[in-house]
Amino acid sequence: MLIPILLAPLSLALPAPHDPHDPLTAHHSHALPGSSLPATPRRPWSGPEPRETFAFEWVEDWLQLPEGMNLGNTHGGMLVTREGNVLFNTDTENAVVVVRPDGTLLETWGKELAGGLHGMCLREEGGEEFLYLCHLGRHEVIKTTLKGKILWTLGYPEESGHYKNANEYRPTGVAVSSDGSLYVADGYGKSWVHQYDADRQYVRSFGGLGNADGQFRTCHGIWLDTRGEQERLIVADRENHRLQFFDLQGQHQETVQHGLRRPCGVAEWNGVLAVPDLAGRITLIDAQQRLIAHLCDNPDPAKRARNGVPPSEWAAGEFLSPHSLCWDREGSLFVMDWNARGRISKLQRLR
């Protein structure tokens, strides 16, 4: 069953007013008490109106699990392989779930990684695709094959001088540049981004807790931006309600807000950024960092950023707590809600 949800030209996507009563929460908390209205964008529109127009349909019951299988808590990352398979994390022994493009289950793996996989990055190396995974409980980054064979692990950045022990380090996102450098976002720890060279040798850290440009309050997700002449990094600075852009040496370049409530990450398709916002919606931003639209906004603030909303209260065309997403090659979106019962949705692009 297809449910139309959006025909979104740019001219209809206007920023919402600032909510002065929206407090910052504890550094790692998902729950945001009180109202969750978006903040005033810091970057005004300039230049010609963008011309992108998107039409999506919400595909009801896209994910088809075997009888008796429950997802469990979905609190991790998502990505699409070159074959079109969708991978995502759960907090069960099915730490990595692999689903075919039609929504049927292909396989699961990661029993030894149960309860803590959070962020994933896919990288092709020598014609083969590999995964880079963040694990909260193991306090490390893990490289694996697509079948789950562990190739190496990288522990906490003791060299940085920012940690007394590994328990203070809880990485939530990882990105890899074209030269093999690693960038690890310690979103649930101390809000530093740590850089390593291609040999996994520590290089530098940038960020740290705060609200000035270049600082973070939960650097939850990180993405390698390859749209321009020079690669750069996009960091989802969740509790500061913004995206921040950096060069590969960690120098701050710009800040984008656009009514973002609690952005968890970024994924790009055809120059367009999609941002999963824990407070109940998805935001699309064009290649010039201009707002395109907010998608499937949950009208009930009590259901936003809440892990325990039961399936009986889910509604097609409304997100709950978007935590991660990915695009396929046709520009359709797959979205993970942070939910104790597990929720994966598909938005099929029509144009």
- Domains annotated on the chain, with CATH: 2-10+50-349 (2.120.10.30)
- Yes or no: say if 119 and 221 are a contact pair by the CB < 8 Å rule: yes
Count of H helices and E strands in the chain? 0, 25
- CA end-to-end span of the chain, whole Å? 18
Q: Which residues pair with 94 in a beta bridge?
A: none
Q: Is 117 helix (H, G, I), strand (E, B) or coil?
A: strand
Q: How far apart are CA 257 and CA 246, in angstroms?
A: 15
CA triplet 280, 282, 219: central angle to 5 degrees? 85
* Alpha-carbon gap, residue 126 to 207, rounded angstroms: 33
pLDDT (tens place) for every residue of the chain, 351 residues total: 565 554 444 333 323 333 333 333 333 333 322 223 233 333 333 344 444 678 999 998 999 999 999 999 999 999 999 999 999 999 999 999 999 999 999 999 999 999 999 999 999 999 999 999 999 999 999 999 999 999 999 999 999 999 999 999 999 999 999 999 999 999 999 999 999 999 999 999 999 999 999 999 999 999 999 999 999 999 999 999 999 999 999 999 999 999 999 999 999 999 999 999 999 999 999 999 999 999 999 999 999 999 999 999 999 999 999 999 999 999 999 999 999 999 999 999 998
> 283, 322 in Cβ contact below 8 A?
no
- Token pair 């797959």 is at which residue? 334
Which residue type occupies 24?
L
Global pTM reads 0.87
Please say whether the beta carbons of 261 and 294 come within 8 A. no
**Dist. CA 13–CA 305, nearest whole Å:** 23
Distance CA 306, CA 223 (A): 25
